[in-house]
Amino acid sequence: MNLPRVAQRPRLAARWIVGHRCALTIVILVAVLWWLLLPWKSNAVTWCEAFGWVDFYREMGDGWVGRTIGESLWLFPVIEVVHLFGLAILGGSVIVMDLRLLGVGLKGASPARVLANTRPWLFVGLIVMIATGVPLFLSETTKCCFNHSFEVKIASLFLAVLYTFAVRNRIAVREGVSTCAMQGVAVLSLGLWFTVAAAGRWIGFSG
Amino acid sequence: MDSRYDPSLLHSFAEWLDTHAWSTALHESLWVWPLVESTHVLTVALFVGVLVMVDLRLLGFAFKDTPVSAMTGRVLPWSIGGFCVMVVTGLLLFYANPVHLAHNVWFRLKLILLVMAAVNAWAFHRRVSRDRERWDSQPRPPVSVRLVAATSVSVWAGVILAGRMIAYNWFECGRDQSAFIIWAAGCAVDLAP
């Protein structure tokens, strides 16, 4: 049937939704999880307080690294900038891989090939992030102890790393995985890494 | 008019923006400003991150088995999408605090670097349109292409650096500054120490 273009639009939208039903389901799931989990503890004590780690955190910050950064005017900003370089490298490799799993981006290459090309840069990004993130933490350990964004960031970071290497990268090299499963895997990966980054930025805004 | 600043055209424009009620509202907003700023920062991962992946291909460090045209055709548009988010959030951030930013040396440096990045992108597209078929599938493109990619990575790294440093007030007008900073930030001369 030759419908005019405008009349075809609802149909195209419906086909798009059906084609991305798995990705969309996970998007909704991640959004609901965010809604439920993130504001949950805003009035509660942090784990650091609850477990009585306040003194331990302060002692970590009293070390040479923490004091040097704390006393310097420019060291903290400079390390932060390198942390942002790491964000670009890590984010770029995660996004290019997840776009491929979503069925967009580098469609011409197999997910296994895209993974082989992005994985080294995922490591580079992670190493830069951790090598700069630890000193940043050491310069403000007491603030982090009472900061909900910090604990969300660390928790989601562990989940994201575990998930990326134990689940996503293994599914990316597997043959015969359904489009639906790959989309779900990609959206969950993007959701986890987004949580890490967003909570990380929010450390600076909260307390 | 704030007497700390030189009444240049940029300054007059910033002063005019500053009179807008929405500019003040955005500046003082408890949630909207942090959300816009966070979006601006996190989009670094999409915009610069994806762009770096394309640049790494052009440098011959990644995706050596993938044609350059596949990277620029299927991956680069995502980076350009990120760039659009950057422009919108960036303009909003400028709108929230125009006078202060117009006289911030890091902000001015960032604008210069953005112009350099634009010139470099133009150079890349000229280079591509000339003879890409010849090196499209080469693991290591010609040196001129690699030079453009290396410039892209360096300039955008500079933009991130300058952008992050905007938040620090070391070179603010009104503090004791060298003649160079007073000139570079466009501070009013009568306030020079």
pTM, two decimal places: 0.91
Return the closest-CA partner of residue A102 out of A171, A204, A155.
A171
pLDDT at A175: 86
> Could you tell me which residues come within 8 angstroms of residue A131 by beta carbon, excluding any fewer than 6 positions away?
none
A124 touches chain B (CB under 8 A): no
Residue B71 lies in a domain: yes
Q: For A40, which DSSP code?
A: T
B35 touches chain A (CB under 8 A): no
Residue B75 lies in a domain: yes
pLDDT at B3: 56
Region A90-112: mean pLDDT is 94
Please judge whether A117 and B65 are an interchain contact, meaning their C-beta atoms are less than 8 angstroms apart.
Answer: yes
Residue B172, SS3?
Answer: coil
Residue B4 lies in a domain: no
Residue B3 lies in a domain: no
Domain borders along chain A are 5-205
pLDDT at A1: 53
Please judge whether B49 and A95 are an interchain contact, meaning their C-beta atoms are less than 8 angstroms apart.
Answer: yes
pLDDT at A11: 85
Q: What are the chain A neighbours of B80 within 8 Å (beta carbons)?
A: none
pLDDT at B192: 42
Q: Is residue A89 scored above 50 in pLDDT?
A: yes
> Could you tell me which residues come within 8 angstroms of residue B28 by beta carbon, excluding any fewer than 6 positions away?
none
Q: Which domain holds residue B168?
A: 9-191
Return the closest-CA partner of residue B54 out of B160, B129, B128.
B128
Residue B51 lies in a domain: yes
Q: What are the chain B neighbours of A117 within 8 Å (beta carbons)?
A: 62-66
pLDDT (tens digit, 9 = 90+) per residue, B125-184? 888 778 888 989 999 999 999 999 999 999 999 999 999 999 998 888 878 888 888 888
Region A33-55: mean pLDDT is 82
pLDDT at B22: 92
Residue B53 lies in a domain: yes
Region A33-45: mean pLDDT is 75
pLDDT at A150: 94
In chain A, which among 31-90 make CB contacts under 8 A with chain B?
A: 73, 77, 80-81, 84-85, 87-90
Region A121-126: mean pLDDT is 97
Region A101-117: mean pLDDT is 92
pLDDT at B170: 86
- Best to test chain B binding among A117, A128, A189 (most B CBs inside 10 Å): A117
Q: For B72, which DSSP code?
A: I
How many domains does the structure of chain B reveal? 1
Region A93-106: mean pLDDT is 94
Predicted complex ipTM:
0.91
Residue B2 lies in a domain: no
Locate A69 and state its tokens: 């950064």
Locate B33 and state its tokens: 């400003």
pLDDT (tens digit, 9 = 90+) per residue, B74-122? 999 999 999 999 999 999 999 999 999 999 999 999 999 999 999 999 9
Assess contact for A119 and A151: CB atoms under 8 A: no
Region A141-152: mean pLDDT is 92
Rounded distance between C-alpha atoms, residue A154 and residue A91, angstroms: 17
Nearest CA distance, B157 vs chain A (angstrom)? 7
- The amino acid present at B28, given as its one-letter code, is E
